[in-house]
Every structure is written in C-alpha cells, then in structure tokens.
Amino acid sequence: MLYKTGFILKIVNTNHIKKFIQKNGCFVVGKTSCTFAAMTRWENYQGSAVKIITRYQGDLPLHHYLKQFFKQHPQMGSRDRKWISRLVYDYFRLGHWALDAALEERIQKAVCICEPGANDFLAAINPELNELAALPLERKLESLTINNSAYSAEQLFPFAQQLSAEIDIKTWASSLLKQPLLFIRVRPGKRTKVIDILENQGVDFQYLDNEAIALPQGTNLEQLILDKDWYEIQDLSSQTTMQLLTPKPGEYWWDCCAASGGKSILLKDKEPGIKLFASDIRPSIIQNLQKRLTAAKVSGFQTGVIDLNQGDLASLLPRKQFDGILLDAPCSGSGTWGRTPENLVYFEAEKIDYYADLQWKIATNVLPYIKPGGSFVYITCSVFAKENEQMVTRLLDTGLLEKESGGLIDGSAKRADSMFAVRFRKK
C-alpha cells in the first residue's frame, strides 16, 4: 500500500486532529509535527474490514461483533460504519469459496459480486472490477475467479447433501449472494395509515399479499412510523406461516418456544379471542417478550419460563391440554443465512444432528398436551431435510398425528428467508 507524506499540520487542539482524521485518513506522529499519510477513505474502509475479518471467530453474531468494534472506534461516522459493514458482510456471503485467498482480493471481488451495481468503493480501489459490477450476477460469477478458483454453488455452500429435496442448490447458493429485503407485517386496520406514511415520505416499498410490505434493508422505520403497534418486523416467509394457524375464538393455544414473540402476536392478530400461553427457556427472553406483547397492545396472554427438554411439564403449565400448540423449534437457522452470512463459514455440519435431536425431544415432550383433534404446528427456519421432512416422517411414525398441510416455504426468489412449516392434527 502506497503512502504519501509531507503534509505538515499545525496542531491547535485534539478536536482538530480528530476532525482531520475523520475526513482524510491517518497520521504519523513526530516530535514536533504530524505528517499525514494520505491513505484514502476507501483504503481505510478496506483495512478496517480486514481487521474485523481477521479477528472475528464466529463465536457471536456478526452484527453484535460489529457493534462492539464500532463502539471501540467512535471516530467512525455513520457512513464509515455502513460501508465497512457492507464489505464484511459481502466477504462472508462468498461462504467457503476460496477462503484461502488474500483478504483484500476476496473483499473486492465479493463487493463486485454481491453489490447490485458499480459503486464508489470499487471505483476508488479497483476500477476494472467496478466495470464488471454492473453486469448481471450470473455474468459476474462466470467472469471472476478468486485466487484462480472458479465459482461453484457447492464451494460456496458445502452442505448441499443435507438440503431438503425441494431446494435447488444452484438457485439457493445464488440467493445467498444477495442481501435480503426488510419485511414488515401491517397490523389489523393499519394498512392505509402505514402505506400513506411510506408514500408521503417517498420510501421505496412494495405492498404484498397478507398485509406484507417489502422495504430496502436499512430503512429506518422507527423514524418513519412513530406508532410502533401499527406494524411488526417479520420476514415474508414467517408471515406465510399464518396460513397454517387456525385458531378459533375461546381456544387455548401454547406458543412453546416463543422467543421474541413474533408468532404469538401473529396468533393473536389472526384470532384475538384465543387465550395464549407463551413460554421459553430463557428468563430474559420472556421479559422482553412481555414488553413486546404489551407494546403491541396484545392482551389475554400468560407467560412462563419452561425447559422443554424435561419430560414432565404438567406442573409448569397453566392447563393439562391445549387446543393448539405452536412449536417454532430451535434449529440451524440455515434458511436465514442470507441475513447472517457468517454462518456460511462458521457452521459445522455436525450441528444438524444436534438440532434434529433437540427438535425431536421437544416435540415428543409437548405432544401429550394437545387435545385429541387439536392442532400441532411445527416450524423451523432451516433448509436441511433432517430438521424438516425427516422430522415430519418421525412425528408421523409415532401414530399420534396426521399431517394436514404445509411444507417448505422457499423465500430465495423473493429475497426472503426460507422456512419449513407443517400443521398436524392430533388423533
């Protein structure tokens, strides 16, 4: 990397130094002067991305790691943080393809492939790649090699053998190279108000079926729509699971792995007249869930902290049997890796067996608490057969259930997550 030196600065105070660094780059500090090293803004961005990728070990979600990194570097402005995050996320979108390549090469080619067109970063760092960036994705993948390695879907996504049969590996891998959209579900009676706000603010959006709206990732909804109970941030495929939920007034439903409560709100929005019990193993999650349901103006619910791994749950439940149980099971999360591409690199195939065993144990532990004729809705955000179709087979083999409807929800063509959801009837 080339450095230009020779700019002598008169130091008035440290605030002047900070502003100069933010605008221009970095300093080499001498005894009587500061010599400016004219590294461009874009070189600084790339250097920061290299530093993050080198230090990151996949032991916590990437967006949490980035927050920690930026907190340690408060001199970085919003534009800096945005661009550095884009470089890092694009790097991980390439999965296992040419992981041994030089980080700078892989970052630049990832930006060329994953960004939707020519951009300022490549214009400054690698103009030749910037010309390629304007091509369709397929052409870019055909034209580029990384460390002399040509693209293949299996190199990017090395778990092809574990995929559900309905997933096409080439289509699936290609979808992971594109950032998913932001989806919201408009709450009952709020559609006109939400759309009016988005139109008046000139927001680029698309209104879809079933009260779903697609927005560009990064849209600041909190500043646009001040009434938070008018919408819920919820992926399109997750919203699609509503079609399998058939609650009736007066019924008692149990959302047994409620997590943040998105499905609980979905249930109550579909049928406000149900009685709802929501549980999770984590006390902090239940506290957040209570706040979210209250903020969403949901009433008629109870919550509890329950470990579904233990066999006898009766003493922990508000009743012995439920009209319906919703199990949004802990899973690999592979259907959401477009949003968390770090998992393409750090996920281990052995974890599929771990999650399948956990799902089986939880499912068989909660089945006794469904009334005969009641509903059992099994959901994962996975694309792996062992967590999905094979789990359905195992559940049917118990002789306790009949499959009614559902299956894979492939969101790859819609820039959404992919999920799996099936509704059973208890015999």
Taking residues 319-324, what's their average pLDDT?
A: 97
Residue-wise DSSP of 45-71: HHHHHHHHHHH--SSS-HHHHHHHHHH
What is the distance between the alpha carbons of residues 76 and 21, in angstroms, rounded to a whole number? 10
Give Dmax over CA atoms of the chain in angstroms: 85
What is the distance between the alpha carbons of residues 45 and 298, in angstroms, rounded to a whole number? 44
Locate 386 and state its tokens: 């062992």
Spatial contact of 79 and 97, defined as CB atoms under 8 Å apart: no
Alpha-carbon 403 to chain mean position: 29
What's the pLDDT band for 13 if we cut at 50, 70, 90? very low
Q: Is residue 16 predicted with pLDDT exceeding 60?
A: no
What's the pLDDT band for 24 if we cut at 50, 70, 90? very low
Higher pLDDT pick, 65 / 24: 65
Q: Is residue 200 predicted with pLDDT exceeding 50?
A: yes
What is the distance between the alpha carbons of residues 104 and 110, in angstroms, rounded to a whole number? 10
**Packing angle, helices 41-55 and 78-93, rounded to 10:** 50
Phi and psi at 235, nearest 5°, equal -60, 150
Q: How far is CA 121 from CA 180, 299, 377, in A?
A: 21, 49, 46
Query: How many other C-beta atoms can be found within 10 angstroms of the C-beta atom of residue 305?
Result: 14
What is the distance between the alpha carbons of residues 229 and 298, in angstroms, rounded to a whole number? 9
Read off the DSSP letter of residue 414: G
Residue-wise DSSP of 121-183: HHHHH-HHHHHHTTS-HHHHHHH-EETTEE--HHHH-TTGGGB-TT--HHHHHHHTTSPPPEE
**Residue numbers annotated as active site:** 381
Query: How many other C-beta atoms can be found within 10 angstroms of the C-beta atom of residue 351?
Result: 15
* Closest residue by Cα to residue 94 from 22, 186, 157, 170: 157
The verdict on pTM exceeding 0.85 is yes
Which domains can be identified in the chain, with CATH numbers? 1-39 (no CATH), 45-151 (no CATH), 182-232 (3.30.70), 243-426 (3.40.50.150)
Residue whose token pair is 């709206």: 213
Identify the weakest region by mean pLDDT among 164-173, 191-200, 204-213.
204-213
Give the tens place of pLDDT for each residue, 139-194. Answer: 999 999 999 999 999 999 999 999 999 999 999 999 999 999 999 999 999 999 99
What is the distance between the alpha carbons of residues 320 and 143, in angstroms, rounded to a whole number? 62
Spatial contact of 44 and 21, defined as CB atoms under 8 Å apart: no
Residue whose token pair is 């477009």: 338
The letter for the amino acid at 67 is K
* Closest residue by Cα to residue 295 from 226, 210, 215, 218: 226
What is the distance between the alpha carbons of residues 426 and 399, in angstroms, rounded to a whole number? 9
Residues that constitute the known binding site: 280, 307, 328
Cα distance from N-terminal residue to C-terminal residue, the chain: 69
Work out whether strand 206-207 and strand 145-146 pair parallel, antiparallel, or are unpaired: unpaired
Q: Is residue 7 predicted with pLDDT exceeding 60?
A: no
Taking residues 30-59, what's their average pLDDT?
A: 79
* pLDDT value of position 310: 83
**Cβ neighbours of residue 337 under 8 Å, at least 6 residues apart?**
176, 343, 344, 347
* pLDDT value of position 27: 43
What is the distance between the alpha carbons of residues 281 and 261, in angstroms, rounded to a whole number? 13
Supply the Cα-derived Rg of the chain in whole angstroms. Answer: 25
* pLDDT value of position 35: 37
